[in-house]
C-alpha cells in the first residue's frame, strides 16, 4: 500500500468517525457528558502515526468539529494538533506501544485536552467553558476514551498498516 492510499484511508476514517460522532455518539450521554470522540481520535492518531501524523490528523479533525461548534473556528484545530503531536512525541521517545499504555494515555490526554481547550477558550473570550461542571466532563470523557481508544487504535492501524516505527 502506498503513502497516498494510507492518507486516503486516514481521511476516510476521520470523516466517518466525525459523522458518527455528530449523528450518534454526541447523544450517548452519561451524567450529561458525551464522549469526546474527535479528541480521542486525534490522540490515537498520534499514538499510532507518531508526532507528525498526529499533528496533521489532529488539525484536520479539529477543523471538522469546529464547523459544528459555537466556539471560535480554529480552537479545536489548535488544541487537537497540539495533543496529537505531543502524544505522538511521547510515544516515539518514551513509551513503547503496549496496548494498556496507549489506552491510558488516550484517557489522560482527553482530560488534559479538555482542560486546555476550556482554558484557551476562556482566554480568547469564550464563555461557559471553564465551569463547575468541567471536572465531571473531564472524568466521564476520559472513561469514554478509555473504552473507545481500543477500536480507534485498531482503526488507525488499519489506515496505516505499513507504518514503521520511527528510528531513534
Binding site for another protein (CB under 8 A): 19-24, 26-30, 32-34, 36, 50-52, 55-56, 59, 62-63, 65, 67-75, 77-78, 81-82, 85, 88-89, 114, 117-118, 121, 124, 127-129, 133, 137, 141, 166-168
If the CB atoms of residues 73 and 99 are measured against another protein, the closer one turns out to be 73
If the CB atoms of residues 100 and 132 are measured against another protein, the closer one turns out to be 132
If the CB atoms of residues 8 and 30 are measured against another protein, the closer one turns out to be 30
The CB-of-135 to another protein minimum distance in angstroms stands at 12
The CB-of-163 to another protein minimum distance in angstroms stands at 13
Residue 81's nearest CA partner among 58, 106, 112, 63 is 58
Q: Which residues contact 8 (CB under 8 A, 6 or more apart)?
A: none
The CB-of-100 to another protein minimum distance in angstroms stands at 26
For residue 33, what are the β-bridge partners?
30
Q: Which residues contact 20 (CB under 8 A, 6 or more apart)?
A: 37
If the CB atoms of residues 10 and 88 are measured against another protein, the closer one turns out to be 88
Query: Residue 121 and residue 124: Cα distance in Å, rounded?
Result: 5
The CB-of-14 to another protein minimum distance in angstroms stands at 12
CA 108 to chain CA centroid, nearest Å = 11
Q: Which residues contact 3 (CB under 8 A, 6 or more apart)?
A: none
| CB 47 within 8 Å of CB 102 | yes
Query: Residue 119 and residue 100: Cα distance in Å, rounded?
Result: 29
The CB-of-9 to another protein minimum distance in angstroms stands at 18
| DSSP 8-state code for residue 132 | T
If the CB atoms of residues 3 and 99 are measured against another protein, the closer one turns out to be 3
Amino acid at each position: 500500500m502506498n503513502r497516498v492510499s494510507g492518507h486516503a484511508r486516514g481521511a476516510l476514517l476521520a470523516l466517518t468517525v466525525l459523522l458518527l460522532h455528530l449523528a450518534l455518539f454526541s447523544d450517548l450521554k452519561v451524567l450529561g457528558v458525551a464522549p469526546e470522540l474527535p479528541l480521542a481520535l486525534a490522540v490515537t492518531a498520534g499514538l499510532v502515526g507518531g508526532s507528525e501524523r498526529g499533528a496533521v490528523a489532529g488539525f484536520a479533525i479539529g477543523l471538522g468539529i469546529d464547523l459544528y461548534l459555537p466556539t471560535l473556528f480554529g480552537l479545536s484545530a489548535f488544541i487537537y494538533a497540539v495533543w496529537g503531536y505531543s502524544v505522538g512525541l511521547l510515544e516515539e521517545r518514551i513509551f513503547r506501544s503496549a496496548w494498556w499504555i496507549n489506552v491510558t494515555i488516550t484517557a489522560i490526554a482527553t482530560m488534559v485536552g479538555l482542560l486546555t481547550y476550556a482554558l484557551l477558550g476562556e482566554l480568547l473570550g469564550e464563555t461557559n467553558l471553564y465551569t463547575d461542571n468541567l471536572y465531571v466532563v473531564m472524568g466521564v470523557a476520559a472513561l469514554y476514551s478509555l473504552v473507545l481508544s481500543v477500536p480507534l487504535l485498531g482503526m488507525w492501524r488499519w489506515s496505516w498498516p505499513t507504518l514503521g516505527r520511527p528510528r531513534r
